[in-house]
A and B are shown apart, each in its own frame.
Chain A
Amino acid sequence: MPKVTYIEFNGKQHEVNVENGLSIMEGAVQNGVPGIDADCGGACACATCHVYVKEEWLDKLPEQGDSEKDMLDFAFETKKNSRLSCQLILEDKHDGIIVNLPEKQG
């Protein structure tokens, strides 16, 4: 079970063990981590699961699909390390990954 660290915009940290096969979004929602709204439930249609992935983890993640690139247009204050967390499915190799949450989700 990979461990994911979510850092809220105010700096508060949440360390959560998330089952393989779940997304970083699901890990947050199921464990009550605030700051990820996921209005569309993971269908890559709302951009309210936006996170900033700590740089060193970026190349361990699957590449952005077209729909994620498109939806990121809607996210609030995107940066180079912006991803939609419902598209980030966890595997063992992601153990220890760190994501920062934006000030707000749109």
Chain B
Amino acid sequence: MKKTDAVIIGAGPVGLFAVFELGIMGLNAHVIDNLDKVGGQCIELYPDKPIYDIPALPECTGESLTKNLLKQIKPFNTEFHLNQRVESLEKKDHNWIVTTSDQEKFETPNVIIAAGVGSFEPRKPPIKNIEKFEKTNLYYAVKDKNKFKDQIVCIFGGGDSALDWTVELSKIAKKVILIHRRDDFRAAQHTVGLARDLEKEGKVEILTCYQPLDFKGDESIKTVEVKHDDGQQKNIEVDSVLAFFGLKMELGPIANWGLDLEAKSLKVNTENFETNEKGIFAIGDICTYPGKLKLILSGFHEGALCAQECFKRAKPDEKYVFRFTTSSSDIQKRLGVK
């Protein structure tokens, strides 16, 4: 069990800036995110797109904003716990026990939910009862590529993951079959070229304008049934299936924590962004209140205000004194400014 002043759920821009606001007050935080990287929507959905409405930053991208936030919070040596979803919150006296999908546990007086529109989860192909295959030979990511040695691997998708793995696995698999719903691939054209070359060599088979219809098999997928746009169907024998249909945001376990919800957002007060539970806060896209705007700049403001209440809960015997970063030697010490 790790003890900490605050646990932040979500490493999007708003969660990252909350680390800063807590940090300059001398509070430490652990940050948990389901993705394998920090940055939330900015990194997962639009790393290269320009953003023009961050105050005093006339132009940045999702990626550069994330990089700069990480630089800004570097002095606090924050611990990130990635690839883990927060599953439950339980009350223990004045504190909360936070448990993740990897069974990591944290005890803290403050839980800041900065979970955006929810955690990023793989999108699944439109096939009934596919969950049972997830235990055997259906994958949404490659953890250990050696599993696919000498196998017939069927890959669905047209983006970088699908094409990169088509090329990579063709080196060890018996055969790779790439299936995509249209002729164009979103993936880098260079990789598409490599896959087309492998197709000519017979190592890869590429089927376009096909969509999955059914996966057949008892415990594991034995046959993949696909349908061409013109109606023709085809059965393909496989050893494993990799589906790369991107990620989707799902509210997930947050809905089960007994917090007041409105649509898919958490209701908060605008004084300190606390939810209906003491010590549980919601900031950024996940929170709602009259006039809420889902903007990064609003989330930054919300983080600053919620940090004040976090301080009171983490250090009930200390008096908080408002200070500017410009003139406070305490803050500057925490920031490592000499």
Residues of B near A78 (CB, < 8 A) are 181, 211
Query: A73-B157, A80-B229 given as contacts; is B246 within 8 A of A39 (CB)?
Result: no
Chain A residues, CB < 8 A from B184: 69
Residues of B near A106 (CB, < 8 A) are 123, 245, 248
Is there an interface contact between B46 and A73, defined as CB atoms closer than 8 Å? no
Structural contact, A40 and B186, CB atoms closer than 8 A: no
Q: How far is the CA of A25 from the CA of B90 in the complex (A)?
A: 38
Residues B249 and A74 in contact, CB atoms below 8 Å apart: no
Any chain A CB within 8 A of the CB of B117?
yes
Is the CB–CB distance between A48 and B45 below 8 Å?
no
The distance in angstroms between the C-alpha atoms of A62 and B295, with both chains bound, is 28
* Chain B at the A interface: SS class: loop
Cross-chain contact A73 with B159 (CB below 8 angstroms): yes
**Interface check B294, CB cutoff 8 A:** yes
Q: Are B248 and A73 in contact (CB under 8 A)?
A: no
B126 at interface by CB-CB < 8 Å: yes
Given contacts A46-B248, A69-B184, contact A76 B126 (CB under 8 A): yes
Chain B, residue nearest A103 (CB):
B126
Q: Is A41 an interface residue (CB 8 A)?
A: yes
Asked whether B158 is an interface residue with its Cβ less than 8 Å from the other chain, the reply is yes
Q: A48-B248, A74-B245 are in contact. Are A41 and B182 (CB under 8 A)?
A: no
Query: In the bound complex, how far is the Cα of B229 from the Cα of A46, in angstroms?
Result: 24
Alpha-carbon distance between A40 and B45 when the two chains are bound, in angstroms: 9
Contact B126 A73 (CB under 8 A): no
Interface residues of A in 73-99 (CB under 8 A from B): 73-74, 76-78, 80
Number of interface residues of B (CB under 8 A): 21
Contact A74/B123 with A39-B117, A39-B249, A43-B46 known, Cβ cut-off 8 Å: yes
Residues of B within 8 A of A41 (CB): 294
- Shortest CB-to-CB span from B50 to chain A, Å, is 12
- Please measure, in the bound complex, the distance between the C-alpha atom of A39 and the C-alpha atom of B117, giving whole angstroms: 7
Complex CA gap A73/B182 in Å reads 8
User: Hey, what's the 0/1 contact readout for B239-255 against A, CB within 8 Å counting as 1?
Assistant: 00000011011000000
Q: Which residues of B contact A39 (CB under 8 A)?
A: 117, 248-249
Contacts of A74 in B (CB 8 A): 123, 245-246, 248
Give the contacts of A20-62 with B (CB-CB under 8 A).
39-41, 43, 45-48
A20 to chain B, nearest CB (A): 24
Q: Is A63 an interface residue (CB 8 A)?
A: no
- A46: chain B residues at CB < 8 Å are 45, 248-249
> Which chain B residues lie closer than 8 Å to A47 at the CB level?
246
B105 to chain A, nearest CB (A): 30
How far apart are the CA atoms of A40 and B229 in the complex, in Å?
Answer: 29
Contact between B246 and A73, CB atoms less than 8 A apart = yes
Q: Report the Cα distance A43→B123, complex, angstroms.
A: 19
Q: Which residues between 194 and 249 of chain B lie within 8 Å of chain A, taking CB atoms?
A: 211, 229, 245-246, 248-249
Q: Are B45 and A73 in contact (CB under 8 A)?
A: no
* Most central of A45, A74, A103, A105 by chain B CB within 10 Å: A74
A103-B180 Cα distance, complex, nearest whole Å: 21
CA distance A70 to B249 in the complex (A): 18
Q: Which residue of A48, A73, A103 is within 8 Å of B245 (Cβ)?
A: A73
Which interface residue of A46, A47, A48, A105 has the most chain B CB atoms within 10 A?
A46
Residues of chain A lying within 8 A (CB to CB) of residue B245:
73-74, 106
The verdict on A73 contacting B294 (CB below 8 Å), with A48-B248, A106-B248 known, is no
Known interface pairs A45-B45, A106-B123. Does A73 touch B211 (Cβ–Cβ under 8 Å)?
A: no
Q: Which 7 A-B pairs have the closest CB atoms?
A: A77-B126, A74-B246, A45-B45, A106-B248, A70-B186, A106-B123, A39-B117
Query: Which residues in B have some Cβ–Cβ distance to A below 8 Å?
Result: 41, 45-46, 117, 123, 126, 157-159, 180-182, 184, 186, 211, 229, 245-246, 248-249, 294
A43-B45, A45-B41, A106-B123 provided; 10 other pairs, C-beta below 8 A? A40-B45, A40-B117, A45-B45, A46-B249, A48-B248, A69-B184, A73-B157, A73-B186, A78-B211, A105-B248
